[in-house]
Chain A
Amino acid sequence: EAQVTQNPRYLITVTGKKLTVTCSQNMNHEYMSWYRQDPGLGLRQIYYSMNVEVTDKGDVPEGYKVSRKEKRNFPLILESPSPNQTSLYFCASSIFPPGTGLTSTGELFFGEGSRLTVL
């Protein structure tokens, strides 16, 4: 089954304790991205990756790191979590980067989300 898998789905942690949210896709997609969803703000992009070893900042990258050592995996790292990083996080992938709508559907496939609470 084609899917994007995130772990953990739920996590409560404390300020400053490093954590990693894993993301894996089995569709051989080149493009992967992380979003956070907050009330009234919708989905905001944190980081994205066009391919292995190619990552770039999104709109809200502060306090986060990512890596793309393999095509299928795109972990999100919070080196020193703070309460303002309490949010619902989504990993997404697509075969082509967004912006190629004229030649493909280019839609994103999302994981089920990871709800993170930082105390």
Chain B
Amino acid sequence: DQQVKQNSPSLSVQEGRISILNCDYTNSMFDYFLWYKKYPAEGPTFLISISSIKDKNEDGRFTVFLNKSAKHLSLHIVPSQPGDSAVYFCAASANNFNKFYFGSGTKLNVKP
């Protein structure tokens, strides 16, 4: 049973608009969340993270929002660029878990 879920396998947005990628989790013990970005034929690379003591973390065009009561996090990309086209994975962990739990990924396509 997947503890981290990304229910949208794909998302298509126009260049310059906002991209919103969603992630839900079931384990209330999770207190650290990350987003990874993956291009074809490459390994995932770290994008942004958030700990449960915050509800928002921003890094340039990327912002992650955490709603603990809903067990939901989202990644906002503003403005979206064609180079953002990739698969995005969310991941979660907790103290002493010694592992990350990953979602199934959302493929983002940003159209010029």
Contacts and interface: CB of A to CB of B under 8 A. Distances in A.
Contact of B51 (A97, A102, A109, A113): A102
Interface stretch (A13-21, A37-45, A63-71, A74-82): A37-45
Contacts of A106: 32, 49, 93
Given A42-B103, A107-B49, A100 B43 contact: no
Given A101-B51, A102-B31, A113 B41 contact: yes
A113 B43 contact: yes
A98 interface: yes
Give the bracket for the number of chain B residues in contact with chain A. Answer: 20 to 34
Interface in B43-63: 43-46, 49, 51, 53
A98 B98 contact: yes
Contacts, number: 83
Contact of B95 (A33, A100, A110, A111): A100
A99 B103 contact: no
Given A98-B99, A99-B94, A101-B32, A43 B42 contact: no
A4 B100 contact: no
Contact of B98 (A4, A44, A48, A90): A48
Interface of B: 2, 4, 6, 9, 31-32, 34, 36, 41-46, 49, 51, 53, 89, 91, 93-100, 102-105
Interface in A1-58: 4, 31, 33, 35, 40-45, 48, 50, 56, 58
Interface string A81-97: 00000000010100001
B22 to A, nearest CB: 14
A101 B49 contact: yes
B41 A42 contact: no
Contact of A111 (B9, B43, B100): B43
Contact of B43 (A4, A42, A98): A4
